Amino acid sequence: MGTCLFCDIAAGKIPCTEVHGDDDFLAFRDIDPKAPTHILVIPRGHVSGLSDLQDADQDMAGRLVLTASRIATAEGLDQAGYRFVINCGRDGGQTVDHLHLPILGGRAFGWPPG
């Protein structure tokens, strides 16, 4: 496997603004925020994206969503609301090929997305 930006962040080789860290997940602030709150939650283990999830990832994927939900609440977003946006592949707008669950909040979002 080649170098992966988010694996390097998870390993502490590249700095980030950490919001939450545990054995399995790391959450940090997006370097180019698209909303007042923009946090990326990643599994520490490398998974390229949604399309690469396997049966064995079921527990991880569930806990990824639960972890992100708790972070959103801790950030005070649960009352007004927020959005999780996992981009996948070229048309989905994915630019970093390490699964990341972005939490976006702090403003109202439009629908449909651009």
Give the residue, chosen from 3, 23, 31, 111, that forms a contact with ligand AMP under the rule CB under 6 A: 31
Mark the segment that binds ligand AMP (CB under 6 A) among 25-33, 59-67, 76-84, 105-113. Answer: 25-33
User: Which CB sits closer to Zn ion, 7 or 88?
Assistant: 7
Query: 60-99: which residues touch ligand AMP (CB under 6 A)?
Result: 87, 93-96
Q: Decide: 103 and 39 in contact? Cβ < 8 Å.
A: yes
The 3-state secondary structure of the chain reads: CCCCHHHHHHCCCCCCCEEEECCCEEEEECCCCCCCEEEEEEECCCCCCHHHCCHHHHHHHHHHHHHHHHHHHHCCCCCCCEEECCCCHHHHCCCCCCCCEEEEECCCCCCCCC
Tell me the closest approach of the beta carbon of residue 97 to Zn ion, in angstroms: 7
Query: Quick check: is 100 catalytic?
Result: yes
Indicate which of ligand AMP, Zn ion, none lies near residue 83 (CB less than 5 to 8 Å, by partner kind). Answer: none
Tell me the closest approach of the beta carbon of residue 34 to ligand AMP, in angstroms: 7
What's the half-sphere exposure (Cβ side, CA atoms, 13 Å) at 11? 9
**Where do contacts with ligand AMP occur on this chain (CB under 6 A)?**
5, 16, 28, 30-32, 40, 87, 93-96
**Where do contacts with Zn ion occur on this chain (CB under 5 A)?**
4, 6-7, 46, 98
